[in-house]
Chain A
Amino acid sequence: MDFDYTADEQTFREEVRSFLREHLPPKSDRGKDFIHTWLEKVRAKGWIGFSWPKEFGGSDGGLIEQAILKEEMALAKAPPLGTSFMGLAWVGPGIMKYGTQAQKEKFIPDILDSKVTWCTGYSEPNYGSDLAAIQCKAVTDGDCYVVNGQKIWTTGASWSDWIILLVRTGFDGASKHDGITCLLVPMDSPGLEVRPIENMAGDKHFAEIFFTDMRVPVENRLGDEGEGWNVTISALANERSSIGEVTQMFDKLDRLKILVKQCSKQGKPASADPIVRRTVASFEMKIAAMKYNGLRYLTKQIRGEPLTSETSVNKLHRASLEIEMDDFALQLTGQSGLQLRGGESTVDRGVWSKSALNWPNVVIGGGTPNIQRNIIAERILGQPKD
């Protein structure tokens, strides 16, 4: 056990830091063209798709180096490495594992070059947590699949170029997991209609998608017919260390402490209130637990030991922290905290009142807390399935 970084790891961290010093202007100086230049530069460094194999245009980066990269990027508040979160996290790894040569050549470079943005068509109106029961239907007609049905809660559907779509091609399989197929579909396909949904924070991040006799060439199928569930699971398993998000949460904690020092409670400094102090310390305790849990799991991965479903542990911490930290900021700031951006008494330009309504992005997306509890109870503790 050794928390010190090796000389090579330190050198890599220095390389990232000096790159950031040179190429990342402060937020206020980031003009319209900044993001384009930024993406070209980090791409040239090989930091987009850092852990991907070199044959696919990645850097074969190690897990520790990847964690260092994410940590330093988060510390510097740099924009994301690449514009297609879904493309990098799910689609790219799925194509590398299950794709045809033609698919690899067609899709992978565009993801790395930030030319194409992907969204993921998983949930349906009647099947969210019970994903394997999806009903959106695809039947073969010549060299095409004809798709009819609906998806919902698709984040980024309005501005994505492509969608990775789970459809049902088999209807009489022994298990509901059989008969699911994965298709790669351009968002401008005839027969595909996007209807944005406004969320409670007033944003339109997600959408419904309707498919009416949409034709998808068979060559756009990812993996074999009926293999879609495995493709999805392998993409889920590709999730890596949470070190970047831990860094962001420590940053949020720091902002919360600044807020505490500015606030009073019943006319006295809030920072002297035992409940306030205890609450903030318990946030720190959970974020620190996420950090060291993450490092333990990272070490397991590096050693090639099986990681069962331990990442659900940090997802549960993150879910409760996302809700509780913003809510605590609102409670602390009383009626000022309720004012949105632009109000006379608005706190911190409205970031708390905004994010206090945005937690479902993190808490529900990618599996609700109750699903995470099922995963831990069943896969780690061996409890019988529901």
Chain B
Amino acid sequence: MNFGFSEEQNLLRDQVVRFMTEACPMTKVRELSNTPSRFDADLWQQMADLGWLGLTIPEAYGGLELKWVDLTVVLEETAAGLCPLPLVSHALSCAAILECGSAAQKSQWLPALASGEAICTLALYDDPNWIDAAAIKATANLEDGKLMLAGVKPFVNDAMSADYFLLAVYGPDGLALAAVGKEQVTVTSQPVMDQTKAVGSIDLNGVTIAHDQLLPMSPDQLSYLTDCGAVAITAEMVGAANAILQLTSEYAKERIQFGKPIGQYQGVKHRLAEIFVDVESFRSLCYYAAWTVDDARDELPRAASLAKGYASDAFAQIGIDGVGLHGAIGFTAEYDAQLYLKRSKWARPMYGDSDFHLDRVATLGGL
């Protein structure tokens, strides 16, 4: 039994922190937030060179063959600086191909993902707030020996930077992921509250794909990818929540009112302590869930739901209180606290909010 990071994982963490400080500081994040894609090819290539893009890809396909615990380290620290690049979408695409792809499909796509040549994203559900196979509306029907797609995928993360999309559809044999290239479809960028995240809709109507562009997906696999999504988003929430805690905590030490730092007043310091309790707690649940992805998959559904169920509400309140404890300065666009509040709103429904996850915990626990 050992619930700590290895020496290598700590070095990886140092590397990500250094990268964020040097290559992707908040000035860069704000600059990218003003572009439609929130993407930077140079930064992406640096990430590929550091091996981050092939972290969970087997060595046979050009990756490092590490685990989700390692991925968690990268997602946590990049999210601490609100890095807008499509790391979560990328990691989930890798998981989807590894899980649902044939040997040929893996050989075809994974090496390009590991090297950073191709950017891919994943979109599962078509309902704004429903995690269920029935919330997938898009279809792929057989017509003249080809697969004709129909429907609109309304919530595709990182749609404007991706070269390829893995989109959940109902195919001739049931659930599947349709692998579609960006040149085949119309992508419409959507304005979204968190400007560090890019979302687009994809119109699939009239698009045809070849049979080898379809990856069959069982309901269990859909559930697995949803859980992976919940773990990845929670890892980002750990990093972002801790960052706004540190920002607010430092401010409370410096801001003087009534002759004392505001952190001396229990109304402020106790709320900071409670935020620490929450971040510590969903951090522990997140690390455990990340470990189950590779090492105890039977426990993943409950572990992922415990982590995302905790983080969804806790981070939302942390975002609000992080801004609120700052007073008026926290409300300004120029100050960074507000960006974390927006991230907390963005992360809440992704791969299930607390209503979904806690109800699942109740079901899995026998209620």
Residues of chain A with a CB closer than 8 A to B4's CB: 1, 296, 299-300, 303
In whole angstroms, how far apart are the Cα atoms of A385 and B268 in the complex?
12
Q: Which of B240-267 contact A (CB under 8 A)?
A: 245, 249, 252-253, 260-261, 263-264, 266
Residues 277-332 (chain B) with a chain A CB within 8 angstroms? 277, 280-282, 284-285, 287-288, 291, 295-296, 306, 309-310
Assess A1 versus B5: contact at CB under 8 Å? Given A289-B282, A293-B281, A383-B264: yes
**A378 in complex: contacting residue of B245, B269, B355, B365, CB < 8 Å:** B269
A238 close to B (CB within 8 Å):
no
B122 to chain A, nearest CB (A): 25
Query: Does the CB pair A282–B277 fall under 8 Å?
Result: no
How far apart sit A103 and B268, CA to CA, in the bound complex (Å)? 46
Which B residues are CB-close (under 8 A) to A293?
A: 280-281, 284
At the interface, yes or no: A75 with Cβ under 8 Å from chain B?
A: no
Contact-size category for B = 35 or more
Taking CB atoms, residues of chain A closer than 8 Å to B358 are 277-278, 281-282, 285
| CB neighbours of B34 from chain A (8 A) | none
CA distance A384 to B263 in the complex (A): 6
- Roughly how many angstroms separate A117 CA and B117 CA in the complex, as a whole number? 70
- Whether B309 and A9, one on each chain, are in contact in the complex, defined by CB atoms closer than 8 angstroms, is no
Cβ of B367 under 8 Å from chain A? yes
Do the beta carbons of B361 and A284 come within 8 Å of each other?
yes
- Kindly provide the distance from the CB of B67 to the nearest chain A CB, expressed in whole angstroms: 8
Q: Find the residue from B287, B296, B361 having the highest chain A CB count within 10 A.
A: B361
Q: Check B359 against A278 for contact (C-beta < 8 Å).
A: yes
CA distance A6 to B245 in the complex (A): 37
Contact (A317, B266) CB under 8 Å given A257-B365, A282-B358, A373-B274: no
Asked if A271 is at the interface of the complex by the 8 Å CB criterion, the answer is yes
0/1 interface trace, chain A 263-304, chain B, CB 8 Å (1 if under): 000000001001001101110111011101101101110110
In the complex, how many residues of chain A place their beta carbon closer than 8 angstroms to a beta carbon of chain B?
52
Q: Which of B252, B276, B285, B354 contacts A376 (CB 8 A)?
A: B276
Contact: B270 with A3, CB < 8 Å?
no
Q: B273, A5: Cβ atoms under 8 Å?
A: no
Does A126 interact with chain B (Cβ within 8 Å)?
Answer: no
Interface code A1-37, partner B: CB below 8 Å = 1, 0 otherwise? 1111110010000000000000000000000000000
Q: A277-B367, A278-B355 are in contact. List 9 more A-B contacts (CB 8 A).
A: A1-B4, A278-B358, A281-B361, A284-B306, A285-B285, A296-B4, A303-B4, A374-B269, A385-B264
CB distance from A196 to the nearest CB of B (A): 34
Return the contact of B284 from the options A6, A289, A302, A378 (Cβ within 8 A). A289
A313 on the B face (CB < 8 A): yes
Question: Which B138-181 residues have a C-beta within 8 angstroms of A?
Answer: none
B367 touching A299, Cβ below 8 Å: no
Complex alpha-carbon distance, A295 and B367, angstroms: 27
A316, CB-defined interface residue at 8 Å: yes
Q: Are A377 and B69 in contact, CB atoms less than 8 angstroms apart?
A: no
Scoring B268, B269, B309 by chain A CB atoms within 10 A of each residue's CB, the highest score goes to B269
Q: Which of A167-202 contact B (CB under 8 A)?
A: none
